[in-house]
Amino acid sequence: MTKRILIHSLIFSPDGVSTAYLYNDIALKFKENGYEVVVLTTTPHYNVVEEQLARQPLKWKVWGVCKESDFHGIQVIHIPQKKFKSTLLRLFGFAYWHIVAFLIGLSLRNIEVILSPSPPLTIGVINSWLAKIKGCKTIYNVQEIYPDILHRDEGLIVSVLRKMERYVYRESAAVTTIDQVFYDTIVDRFLDKRKLHIIPNFVDTALYCPEMGDLSLLNPNYFPKTNALKVLYAGNIGYAQDWKPLISIAQKLKDEPIEFFIIGEGAMKSFIEDEKEKLCLDKIHLLPYQPRDLMPSILAYSDVQFIFMTPEMEMQGFPSKVYTIMACGKPLLVCSGKATPIVNFLQEYGCAKLVTEKDYERKVDEMTDWLKNISREELSIMGEKGMAVIKQKYSKEVVTGQYVNLVNSLIGK
């Protein structure tokens, strides 16, 4: 009899964000291995990509309650959700999603395993209730550590979230996390430490590789031909990244043949726009989101990819873009604290310049000097080292197989 798995995620295709792409590939791997996969998610609301919506249209399944789409033969149930500006409406939408997801989950028959990523932590609670009622098992994937990521003093909210976290860890049949730092952070919160497993994130090396980088596909108005060193970031321009050092570096390098490209949208984009205008930083180029299939070409256009983590977020998150950058043979310039997940991951591979200095002026000077003096030959060697690591350890085929093996072990397949 075919085993049936439910993937319950806040984000899934056709939403155009990294968690969606990650779980798209995990779902396809289960289907490839003979599982019947059902996905319970929201309607696209994080990064709506019209081309992806056209390829995967949503139709009402139960009018006003949920929609349905087909993802390569996988049934996807979408509960309506929007990015409301009003806090009250956001809370209402969040509660509505949980209630409807729980009711839809109850209606699904013959589910063996429920797999879900964080955030939010509450999805683990809902799934544990479903599992008790339906007699199935749950796997909770820790992508971000709650409530630690909130950086709030102990109070009622944090206390409730800590109890919720312990409950999810206790009730899950297995919990996965993405690296050793995350593992070490949460392992002592488990009564049964054998439940906790490390399964890293991964990259599709068929899409992200140097061979897919076709510069002719890029808009020359956004990506002009230049002999300057091109330092690039593509992704959410939000609070997890530290943007002030970038402004300082661009100031110090105004007269050097070095240009900075920042691609995406987010809460901190207006800050960069204001600083760029105020300081006349013409070599900072702010560009809108670009389609996912252009990313290999965008990476090929760049010489260096930068990621500057804020001290508040550096211990709680690991940017999945690290894998795609390495897969495309590009080196990284990373600013983060010692023993943080990103530094812990990269330090042994020789594919990144890691700046762990805490003093602001010193770290800015260190990165400025490195960009001024690094040669393209040295950058090429760094990029090749990273690409070799991805092919060996972090390809889509290798890591999605670990999820399948974990589920097989839980249900005795």
Distance of CA 377 to the CA centre of its chain: 30
pTM of the shown model = 0.79
Angstrom distances, CA of residue 87 to CA of 48, 142, 202, 245, 374:
21, 25, 34, 31, 47
Q: Where are the domains of the chain?
A: 4-202+395-411, 210-393
**What are the DSSP calls for 79-125, one per residue?**
E-----SSHHHHHHHHHHHHHHHHHHHHH--SEEEEEEESSPTHHHH
Q: How much is the pLDDT for 152? A: 61
What amino acid is encoded at 344 in this protein? N
Q: Does domain 4-202+395-411 have CATH number 3.40.50.2000?
A: yes
Helix 269-278 vs helix 244-252: angle between axes, to the nearest 10 degrees? 30
Angstrom distances, CA of residue 318 to CA of 157, 201, 246, 274:
25, 9, 20, 28
How many angstroms separate the CA atoms of 150 and 316, rounded?
Answer: 9
Q: How much is the pLDDT for 156? A: 83
Q: Please give the CATH superfamily to which domain 210-393 belongs.
A: Glycogen Phosphorylase B; (3.40.50.2000)
Angstrom distances, CA of residue 370 to CA of 288, 304, 353:
28, 11, 8
In this structure, are residues 294 and 217 in contact, taking their beta carbons and an 8 Å threshold? yes
What are the per-10-residue average pLDDT scores of the chain (413 residues)? Answer: 91 88 95 96 85 91 94 96 82 90 95 93 95 96 78 76 93 94 92 95 90 93 95 92 96 96 93 96 94 92 96 79 94 94 93 96 97 96 96 91 96 80
Q: 4-202+395-411 and 210-393 share one CATH topology?
A: yes
Q: What distance separates the 2 farthest-apart alpha carbons in the chain?
A: 68
Q: How much is the pLDDT for 151? A: 61
Q: Residue 335 is encoded by which pair of tokens?
A: 């600013």
Q: How much is the pLDDT for 149? A: 67
